[in-house]
Amino acid sequence: MELLFGVVLGLTLAVASPAHDSCTCATNKWAVCAQDGPGNCTCRLVGSDHPVDCSTLTPKCFLMKAEMIPLKEKRLWRPPQALSDSDGIYNPDCEDSGTFKAKQCNQSSTCWCVNSAGVRRTEKGDRSLSCRELVRTRWIYIELTHKRSSSAFDVPDVVKALTQLFESRYKLQPKYIAAIKYEPPLIQIRLEQSKKPRWDVDIADAAYYFEKDVNNDSIFHSNSKLSVSVNGDALAIEKLWIYYVDEKPPEFCMRQLAAGISAVVTVVVLTAGIGIAVLLILRWLHTRKYKKFESKEMSEIKTPSLE
């Protein structure tokens, strides 16, 4: 009887273990998951009560919020190296859907307006700053360079490899990959998404996941290092730049342009003023010398000769 009980217990544990191990979020290592029923696994973002859809990418706003949580609260879900690179990271205010709120503020009551990718698009102000709408980021330009000792890759092979990467790893529809241009060692990727259906991945989320992968700080639960292969050869990415283009121009753009024009005008006016002053001084010196010479001649004419 005891032997039969042990066999049943062992089989039960063997069946239960895979179910328990499968209760993880493949697309978000910072998600805390729990088995709340047979075959039902619920995952929520660490440090908040937001549920996470692990079948797709987590919105960038939620990810940035998770990154701002102290390590002691996140325990094992955050890698140590993530703490050393916090440039551009702030604790954002998110809508329930995961989108950024148009107005963001920090603890010192400094506020600014952001686009749908969470990037600041206005000058910073106080809490009276008004952000009327969340301006959508329509294009994202990704520029990267790679290293390779031998000859360059073929253009069609690079385009195919990167298209498959964004489609399979980041769940981005190929129709949102507007163009991929390759001029060794520079690769340019343009993502375009005027409107985002609720069921599609946002290009800002895909770009953020890609950026984390390139920086060896993957958000995926497996924490696997990004590996891009072009016809069996590794595409080793060295540097990465990401640029955001909104549907409407940034509001601080004209102010900076005006400041630049004012600076140029000031330089031109000062240069012209100095030039005029130099000309006047030279003319004064020349006139003075001429008058002195003329006065000397007149004095010689008026003085009678002793002979």
Bridge partner residues of 143 (DSSP): 188, 241
What is the percentage of the chain residues whose pLDDT exceeds 70?
A: 72
- DSSP H or E run through 271: helix 253-302
- Mean model confidence pLDDT for the chain: 77
Bridge partner residues of 45 (DSSP): 31
DSSP conformation letters of 5-39: HHHHHHHHHHHHHHHHHT-S-TT-TTEEEEEEETT
Q: Any idea which of 122-126, 132-136, 146-150, 201-205 has the lowest mean pLDDT? A: 146-150
What is the percentage of the chain residues whose pLDDT exceeds 90?
A: 36
CB 253 within 8 A of CB 245: no
CB 202 within 8 A of CB 116: yes
Which residue did the predictor score with more confidence, 76 or 244? 244
Measure the CA–CA gap between 95 and 62, rounded to whole angstroms.
9
Bridge partner residues of 104 (DSSP): 112
Q: For position 288, what pLDDT does the model report?
A: 64
Give backbone dihedrals phi and psi of 6, rounded to 5 degrees, phi first.
-65, -40
Measure the CA–CA gap between 126 and 29, rounded to whole angstroms.
35
For 89-106, what is the mean pLDDT?
Answer: 91
Q: What is the pLDDT of residues 163-198, one digit of tens each?
A: 999 999 999 999 999 999 998 889 999 999 988 888
297 pLDDT above the threshold of 70: no
Domain boundary assignment for the chain: 31-69+88-252
Q: What is the pLDDT of residues 194-245, one digit of tens each?
A: 888 889 999 999 999 999 999 988 999 886 788 888 988 888 898 899 999 8
For 129-157, what is the mean pLDDT?
Answer: 87
Non-local CB neighbours of 98 within 8 Å, separated by 6+ positions: 50, 58, 59, 61, 62
Query: Could you tell me the pLDDT band of residue 162, with boundaries at 50, 70 and 90?
Result: very high
Q: For position 181, what pLDDT does the model report?
A: 92
Non-local CB neighbours of 152 within 8 Å, separated by 6+ positions: 184, 185
Measure the CA–CA gap between 244 and 277, rounded to whole angstroms.
48
